[in-house]
Chains A and B, each alone.
Chain A
Amino acid sequence: MSTPVLHPRVAAHLADAAAEWDLAAHATGPADRSAAEEGVRAAYHAAGLREPRQIIWFASPAQAATAAVVLSGGAEARAAVRGSALLPPALLELNAGPLVRDLVRSTPWEKVRAEAASALTPTAWAAAWEFVGAGFWPQVNRLVGEIRRGIGRLTGEAGPAPARTAASHVQREPDDPVEGLLRRATLDAVLGQHDAPWLAFFDGLARASLIDIAPLDGVLRVSRAAGWWWPFEHVVLICERPAELRRDDLGRLHHAVGPALAFPDGFGLHAWHGMPVPAGFGATMADLSPAAIRRQDNAELRRVMLEHYGLDRYLRESGADAVHKDDTGVLWKADLADDEPLTMVEVVNSTPEPDGTYRTYFLRVPPWVTTARQGVAWTFDIPAEQYQPRRQT
């Protein structure tokens, strides 16, 4: 038997820390405001800063990010969000000073990380991270990404619904200036409860007496008690945790009726088994029909509808036949009343999902297509014999 890379005692501490921090990352309900504020002050002390003059609470990271744009931006940024209903007007006059995230969070974080790196061999580092982060990190990181995107969309003309009809645009316009400001502001946040995977890693190693996490004490305390926060020299913006968080059995955001993630001010995300969907999408899933699936213009949403309805059932009820199969996929054809036949290639994504499954897509192709390769090649506007990817992911 080989010697374990991690001592069983270290592994046990990491497991305990991961279990606790997993709860913190997904905690809902009101923040423990006094504990969070003490954590904030401790972090400022540790950074050699004066205590912030004001700690301002927000109901969601969307509100706080908007406020962060005002406090960190110049006159132009302030003007861009001046009309926002999310902001108390007094905020526009506040002198917050510069962002001190580096001093409060990144410097002590780096110190602890460097200590962990020297306490562990590279193999042990990987094993420890695997122990804590596998499963936990992708979930939380994905959640953070979705929240960031949700915030970025706040001011866009698309509103909070992520999917637009296919007829609108072939590409979403990413250059809305306010969206850019908001997205950047989200990158300036300390993630509070959503720093949990890394904090679990550090905390587990500290419990095993391998490192000292005292430099991060304040950050750890805030993370146990509250959501995202923005440390400025004189002012801290800090957020409540979600009021609601609903996930499926694989830990992906999912809720059929209403948002899967909702903050007390109503900012939220709608999702179906991890896929961002427009509000109201879940409700339409209760009485799906092949016709409703065919009417859906967005390929991703249609994929979700097809999976829910059952691919076999859909193809059976549409009277489809698998007419050809090769290494690119399967070609299906179904005759439709008063219409040209429905011709689709079934293709499998080359990269596995975080849960290890592979997404199956159905792409509609012209009715004259006779082989799966010809269908896939057509979707890229090249001849079948030319379609030979050297690498695909």
Chain B
Amino acid sequence: MYRQGDILILQVTAESVPARLESAPRDARGRLVLALGEATGHAHAVPGPGTLLLSRASGLPEFLHLPDGGRLVHEEHATISLPKGWFRVVRQREYVPGAYHRYVAD
């Protein structure tokens, strides 16, 4: 389990990843963007090889495959080295009374 700001990365088995998920496109700088800060525009991103899969329900990044391992970078947080394998990507949320929930807008 790795945490970079409002993103939590959990290592999972390949078998637990649903089949036929859509891959997320890379951004203009060729990176896999796990989450983009709403206020700052800063991104949690993986610059190297790998695949990012989108959740069927939300359309947001949910699984990350790094066949050779990789690095999670962000403009304001230290870089985290990730081993090779499959990961679930969880974005931090916040409680709102009366609402369902929302994600932290950083």
Contacts and interface: CB of A to CB of B under 8 A. Distances in A.
A301 interface: yes
A145 B37 CA distance: 14
A171 B78 CA distance: 22
Given A297-B105, A380-B90, A365 B38 contact: no
Contact of A162 (B1, B25, B40): B40
B48 to A, nearest CB: 18
A388 to B, nearest CB: 6
B93 A390 contact: no
A225 to B, nearest CB: 30
Given A183-B28, A298-B105, A349-B5, A339 B38 contact: no
B18 interface: no
A163 B105 contact: yes
Q: Which range holds the interface residue count of chain B? A: 35 or more
A200 to B, nearest CB: 23
B5 A388 contact: no
B99 to A, nearest CB: 8
B97 A339 contact: yes
B8 A380 contact: yes
A393 B4 contact: yes
Interface residues of A, number: 50
Contact of A174 (B8, B33, B78, B93): B33
Interface string A203-233: 0000000000000000000000000000000
A73 to B, nearest CB: 14
Interface in B6-28: 8, 10, 25, 27-28
Contacts of A390: 1-2
Interface of B: 1-5, 8, 10, 25, 27-28, 33, 35-41, 43, 58, 60, 74-80, 90-97, 102-106
Interface of A: 145, 149, 152-153, 162-164, 166-167, 169-172, 174-175, 180, 183-184, 275-277, 297-301, 339-340, 343, 349-351, 353, 363-366, 378-382, 386-393
Given A171-B60, A379-B94, A392-B3, 14 more contacts: A164-B105, A166-B105, A171-B35, A175-B25, A184-B28, A276-B41, A277-B39, A298-B38, A300-B39, A350-B77, A353-B76, A363-B92, A363-B104, A382-B8
